[in-house]
A and B are shown apart, each in its own frame.
Chain A
Amino acid sequence: MSEAAILGGEAEAPAETSADGPAPKRIVVAYGFWIFLLSDIIMFSAFFATYAVLSGETAGGPSGRDLFDLHNVAIETACLLLSSFTCGLAAIGARAHNGLMYYGGMAATCVLGLGFLAIEIREFVGLVAQGAGPTRSAFLSAFFTLVGCHGVHVTLGILWLLTMIAQVFAKGYRADILRRVLCFALFWHTLDIIWVAIFTVVYLFGAGA
C-alpha cells in the first residue's frame, strides 16, 4: 500500500504514521495491552530465574528425569500450538465479520485449551499422588509455581474466551468488542510463547540434560 502511495497509483492517505495524526484506537489499545503482556512476561522471567536456580535442589527427592513424561508434554505443546492457530483464525473471522470463522475458531481454541488444562491437571495430580508435591523439595516448589502460574493464565484465558464469544453474540462486531477480541488474541499467543520457554527450560532440559 505504501508503495502504491509512493508511486502515486492510489490517492489514499491512511493515518498510519504519527506525522499523519493520531494512530487509530485499535493500534493504541494493542500497544497498551502489549505493555501489560510484557510486564506479565517479566513476572514469568522471575519464576524462570527461580526455577533455574533451584532446579538441582531436589533434597534427595525425585528429579525432573524421574518425573517428566515427554509424551504428555508433546501433546500439551500440540494443543497450545494448534490453539494459537485457531485463535488467529478467530481473530481474522472477527475482523471480517465472518461468524463461521469467528465462532468456529474460538470454539476450537476453547476445546484445545481445555485439553491442555486437563493433561496438566492430570500430571499435577499424578505428581502429588506419588509424593512429589510442591512441598517435597525446592525444585518441585519452583516447578509447581512456574508451570502452575502458566496453567492459571490459561484458565483465565479460557474464561476470557467464553466472555468474548458471549459479547460478540450479544452485541455483534462492534468496534470496541473487536478491540477486546484483538487483546484476547494477543494474550493467548503470549501464553503460547511462555509455554515454548517452559517446555524447553523445564521439560526438555529436565528430562534430557
Chain B
Amino acid sequence: MSSMDDYQPLRGDDHAPGDEPVGRHEIAEGVVGYLVGLGLAILLTAVSFFIAGTSLVWHPSIPIALVVLAVAQIGVHLVFFLHITTGPDNVNNILALAFGVLIVFLIIVGSLWIMYNLSQNMMPMAMPTG
C-alpha cells in the first residue's frame, strides 16, 4: 500500500503550476465528480432505453426525445468526464469544440438534406420492390 506514503503537501516542494501533488481532499472531490457524472449518464441512458421501447408516449416524438437525451448525455460526458469547463484554461478547448460541433453539424445535416432532396427529385424508376 504505497497509497499515501509518497504524498507531499501542496506547497512543500517546488512544483510547476498545475503539476502539484494532489491531496486527499482533491482525490475525494475528483471521485465525487466522476460519481455524479456516472449517475447522470446512467439516468439518461436508462431513460433513452425506456423511451425507445415504450408505447406510453406519442410515437412520432420518440426520435426527437432520443436525440435530446443523447445530446444531454454527451454534455454530461463533456463536463464531468472530459472536464470541459468555462475556466480560463479551457477557452481554447471550448473554441475548438464549437468549431468541431459546427463541422459535425454541417456534415450530418448537409448530407441528410442533400440526399433527401435528391431522392425526392429522382425520376420514379420501375424498381422491382423486394
A34 touches B96 (CB 8 A): yes
A204 touches B49 (CB 8 A): yes
Q: Which chain B positions have C-beta within 8 A of A41?
A: 100, 104
Q: Which secondary structure dominates where chain B touches chain A?
A: helix
Binds B, one of A80-88, A118-126, A144-152, A154-162: A80-88
Q: Which of B19, B110, B130 contacts A59 (CB 8 A)?
A: B130
- With known contacts A26-B18, A84-B77, A200-B70, A16–B88 Cβ distance under 8 A: yes
B126 in the interface (beta carbon within 8 A): no
A89 to B31, CA, bound (A): 7
Q: Which of A27, A31, A35, A193 contacts B77 (CB 8 A)?
A: A193
B18 touches A60 (CB 8 A): no
Q: Which of B38, B62, B67, B93 contacts A34 (CB 8 A)?
A: B93
The total of chain B residues at the interface (CB under 8 A) is 60
Binds B, one of A45-53, A106-114, A128-136, A163-171: A45-53
Q: Which of A27, A70, A205 contacts B49 (CB 8 A)?
A: A70
B81 touches A189 (CB 8 A): yes
CB distance from A32 to the nearest CB of B (A): 10
CB distance from A137 to the nearest CB of B (A): 10
Interface membership of chain B positions 21-59, coded 1 if the CB is closer than 8 angstroms to chain A and 0 otherwise: 111001100110111011001100100110011000000
Q: Which chain A positions have C-beta within 8 A of B52?
A: 70, 204, 207-208
Question: Can you sample 14 A-B contacts with CB below 8 Å?
Answer: A14-B18, A27-B18, A38-B97, A38-B100, A53-B111, A81-B45, A84-B77, A98-B3, A98-B4, A100-B1, A189-B77, A192-B81, A193-B74, A205-B66
